[in-house]
Amino acid sequence: MINCIFCQIIQRQIPASIVYEDEQVLAFHDIHPQAPKHILIIPKIHISTLNQLESEHGALMGKLILTARDLAHEFGIHDSGYRLILNCNYGAGQTVFHIHLHLLGGRRLGWPPG
């Protein structure tokens, strides 16, 4: 999608601090981190919100979660604890309309989140 900032990052039109990439997924540091470790994990195909997921996207969503698990290990937050967040639409805090998984860790995270 032409106006999607995450699609532009995937296409390397906008720079990002990329920490992982394969044929399906891209992960990079959030530019407004909410924790010492805050990484966004996105699919390389454009899906606006969780509401647009189709049954064929199940494996891709699993891939996002497994990538988050691996990155938590790589960044040393797997034992101390981490949080995964998927927001859907404005009311839940989604500001970029391209599905993305937040990986947060590196400090004690309260509940409920702000």
* pLDDT confidence of residue 114: 60
Rounded to 10 degrees, the C-alpha dihedral 51/36/65/63 comes to 100
**Residues with catalytic annotation?**
100
Residue 110 backbone phi and psi in degrees, to 5: -80, 170
* pLDDT confidence of residue 14: 95
* pLDDT confidence of residue 102: 98
Domain ranges of the chain: 5-51+66-105
* pLDDT confidence of residue 112: 77
Burial 42-62 (b: 16+ CB within 10 A, else e): bbeebbbbeeeeeeebeebbe
Q: Give, for all 114 residues of the chain, the pLDDT tens digit.
A: 678 999 999 999 999 999 999 999 999 999 999 999 999 999 999 999 999 999 999 999 999 999 999 999 999 999 999 999 999 999 999 999 999 999 999 999 988 766
What pTM did the predictor assign? 0.94
* pLDDT confidence of residue 1: 62
Identify the CATH homologous superfamily for domain 5-51+66-105: HIT-like (3.30.428.10)
